[in-house]
Structures are given as structure tokens and as C-alpha cells.
Amino acid sequence: MRRNKKDRQKKLKDIIEVNPFITDEDLSNQLSVSIQTIRLDRLELSIPELRERIKNVATQQLEDVKSLRVDEIIGEVIDIQLNDSAISIFDVKQEHVFSRNGIARGHHLFAQANSLAVAVINDDLALTAKSNLVFLKPAKLGDRIVAKAKIIEDEPETRRKTVEVNGFVENEHIFEGTFEMYHRSQQ
Amino acid sequence: MRRNKKDRQKKLKDIIEVNPFITDEDLSNQLSVSIQTIRLDRLELSIPELRERIKNVATQQLEDVKSLRVDEIIGEVIDIQLNDSAISIFDVKQEHVFSRNGIARGHHLFAQANSLAVAVINDDLALTAKSNLVFLKPAKLGDRIVAKAKIIEDEPETRRKTVEVNGFVENEHIFEGTFEMYHRSQQ
């Protein structure tokens, strides 16, 4: 059932407030209007697009990151829950690939995964003690790599946490890694 | 017993021809003269210093590297025996360390080790399938990291070679790594 514009825009605002990560597509389904209508509504209400909303949310969370300067994180953090999990995206550009075959070089993938593992540790000193990376499929020039980090083990007595990081390109699993992180404070 | 200058310079030339990596100190011991005398002798004979000699030798070997462009190797290769072993040095500069503590970031060490592991593979396609890195001690701003790579396992039927890479700062062991490399041709 269609609503009038004012009702619909109020509803749209409420939905986005509860779930800032909702896509225009899902909004269009929920409100039974076209994606174009959703875009126009957002424009009129000055609600930025999903990507920008994600950034805004992540920026607030990023202010609490202690273990490194935010601009030292390789890739763009789109979500971070300190001491728990984090997500970043990394766009593979010309400078990240082997000139001979256009395949992304391992150390850039390592850098995305490792810096996310550092960022998720809620401590002012977090050092990588061990790393294990399995490269399942090559990433290529133009790929957008989504890395998802999650703390899977916590040993407060030795001040070590194990962070699992998985990399995906369009839902294809391209790398899996574990990082054993040492941190300063016993928590 | 001292020799006269002509004899000594001939001997010095012969020694360096056999072992281009000998230091001035070892030369001074072998020829029982001061390091200053060795330097003057080298100057008169137009024999460059060790660092330059190493570079010349490595440059010739580097021409045969197939798996990546030489300028894609992170660090400076000072010795490489394709399909066997390689050595590179990497100077830790401001842009390689965490701003908060001056400790070298893991992905630069990974980059030095991994690109050396790629370079040593004598094939036009060499991809990293797995990596294991243990960071034993942090490297710091100003450190010179010497990485030594060695192929320790070779499985021609699966086209995989395992390369061990160890990192040192002034003979202190700072990281140990293994890289399982996939290569194109069965050799």
C-alpha cells in the first residue's frame, strides 16, 4: 500500500535511524516505492547515501581506536567494534599489482588484514607476534577486497589475542588469516 | 711477513677475484697490512668497495630474475642464486614505522620477505599460496634488516616450493617465515 510523501519520508527517516546500514534497495522494498523515489526522498531529507552513512558511523567508532593512528590503517574501515570485530574495504589499484600479470601483491593484502587486526585491539600497544595467511584466490586490478576481522581467542594472562581475518571479493573467499597479537595491558 | 707493494696488490687482486664479498678487514688480516693500506691499494687498482662490488655481482644475477620486475623487489638484493637462495637488505625509515612507537610495521617486513621469496623462484609465474611469519623482536626506525631466503622444499609434481626467509638486525634474529610458492612450470 502506498503512503503519501510526507508519511513515507518520515518512515524512511525512522528506518535509517534504527539501521543506518540499510541499502536503498531494501528501503525501496520496505516502503514499496522505486529506488529512484528513495534517492529523491534522501536528497530532500539530506540523508547521505549508504556508503557515506557507513563512513560517518565508522568515523565515530574510529575515534576510539587506540593501537594505531587511523590513517595508518590500510584500507577504509567501514565498521569497527573494539575488542570484537572490524570490517574494511581495499580497492586494488595499479600500484598494488605485479606489472606482469595484474595480480595483487601479497603484502598489500597482508597490510589490509594486519592493520585491521591491530586496529581492533583496544590497547595503546598492539604488536603482531605471529601471522598465518592462506591465499585462496588471486585478487586482481580493480577488485574491491572486503576484509572481516574477528577476535577468536583471548588469553589475558599472556596478553595475547588471536584475530581471524577473512578477505572476500564479491563474496568469493580470497584469503584467510590469523594474527596472534600481543598487547600491553592485561584486560 | 710483509710483501712489497707490487706483490701485495697482485695478491689483493687475486683474492678479490676469487671472493668478491671479502671485507677490507679480512683483506687486511690476510695480507698483514692496515685497513688504510687496503683502501689505498683498492683505490690505485680501481677496485670498488665491498658494497659496490656486491651490487655489481647482484646486478648480473638480477638480470636473470623472471618472476617479477627487479624494481618490484622490496629492499635491495645483494645476492641471489635462482632456485636456491637470496639475500636482501631493507633500511627501516620513517614511513615504515608506527608513529606512536617507532616500531616497523609488519607489512613492510612481510613485503621484504615475500618479494625475496618470489624473486628466488626461477619461473615467470610465482604466486604465494601460504605464508607463516613469526615476529621475534620488533625492528625499529634506523634498523637495517638483512633477509636471507632459501628454498627448503621442492615438490615438482604439485609445482610448489617452500621458501624459508629469516630476518636479522645486526645478527639478531628478528623474524622467521616460510612461504609456500606456486609456480607455473613443472621443473
Contact A133 B129 (CB under 8 A): no
Tell me, yes or no, whether A17 and A68 share the same domain: no
Query: In CATH, what number is assigned to the domain containing residue B14?
Result: 1.10.10.10
Contacts A132 to B, Cβ<8 Å: 130-132
Tell me, yes or no, whether B174 and B83 share the same domain: yes
Contact A183, A126 (CB under 8 A): yes
Residue A182 predicted with pLDDT over 90? yes
Tell me, yes or no, whether A164 and A94 share the same domain: yes
CA distance B118 to chain A (A): 10
Work out how many domains chain A is built from and give that number.
2
Report the chain A residue with the minimal C-alpha distance to residue B174.
A129
- Answer yes or no: is A69 within a domain: yes
Tell me, yes or no, whether B43 and B129 share the same domain: no
Residues from B in contact with A at Cβ < 8 Å: 68-69, 72, 74, 98-101, 103, 105-108, 110-111, 114-115, 124-125, 127-135, 138
Tell me, yes or no, whether A84 and A175 share the same domain: yes
Share in percent of chain A as helix, strand, coil (round to 5): 35, 35, 30
CA distance B56 to chain A (A): 25
Q: State the Cα torsion B159-A114-A58-A136 to the nearest 10°.
A: 10
- Answer yes or no: is A52 within a domain: no
Contacts A107 to B, Cβ<8 Å: 74, 107-108, 110-111, 114-115
User: What pLDDT score does B151 carry?
Assistant: 97
User: What pLDDT score does B94 carry?
Assistant: 95
Please measure the distance between the N-terminal and C-terminal CA atoms of chain A and give it in whole angstroms: 53
For residues A108-123, one letter each, b for 16 or more C-beta atoms within 10 angstroms of the residue's C-beta and e for the rest, the string is bbbbbbbbbbbbbbbb
Tell me, yes or no, whether B170 and B100 share the same domain: yes
Report the chain B residue with the minimal C-alpha distance to residue A136.
B129
Tell me, yes or no, whether A90 and A35 share the same domain: no
- Answer yes or no: is B40 within a domain: yes
Tell me, yes or no, whether B16 and B72 share the same domain: no
Q: HSE (CB half, 13 Å, CA atoms) of B21?
A: 7
Contact B121, B109 (CB under 8 A): no
CA distance B86 to chain A (A): 19
- Answer yes or no: is A54 within a domain: no
- Answer yes or no: is B18 within a domain: yes
Task: Write the CB contacts of A26 (distance below 8 Å, at least 6 apart in sequence).
Answer: none
Provide the number of CB pairs (under 8 Å) joining chain A to chain B.
Answer: 84
Q: Which residue, A65, A60, A98, is CA-closest to A84?
A: A65
Which domain range does residue A106 map to?
61-183
Tell me, yes or no, whether B31 and B68 share the same domain: no
- Answer yes or no: is A121 within a domain: yes
ipTM above 0.85, yes or no: no
Query: In CATH, what number is assigned to the domain containing residue A67?
Result: 3.10.129.10
Tell me, yes or no, whether A66 and A88 share the same domain: yes
Residue A1 predicted with pLDDT over 80? no
pLDDT tens-digit profile, chain B (187 residues) = 456 899 999 999 999 888 777 888 889 999 999 999 999 999 999 888 877 777 776 777 788 888 898 889 999 888 899 999 999 999 999 999 998 899 999 999 999 999 999 999 999 999 999 999 999 999 999 999 999 999 999 999 999 999 999 999 988 999 999 999 999 886 6
Q: Which triple of cell numbers denotes residue B44? A: 690505485
Interval A40-93: pLDDT, tens = 999 999 888 877 777 776 777 788 888 898 889 999 898 899 999 999 999 999
Contact A111 B115 (CB under 8 A): no
Cross-chain CB nearest to A98 (options B68, B99, B134): B68
Q: Which triple of cell numbers denotes residue B47? A: 677496485
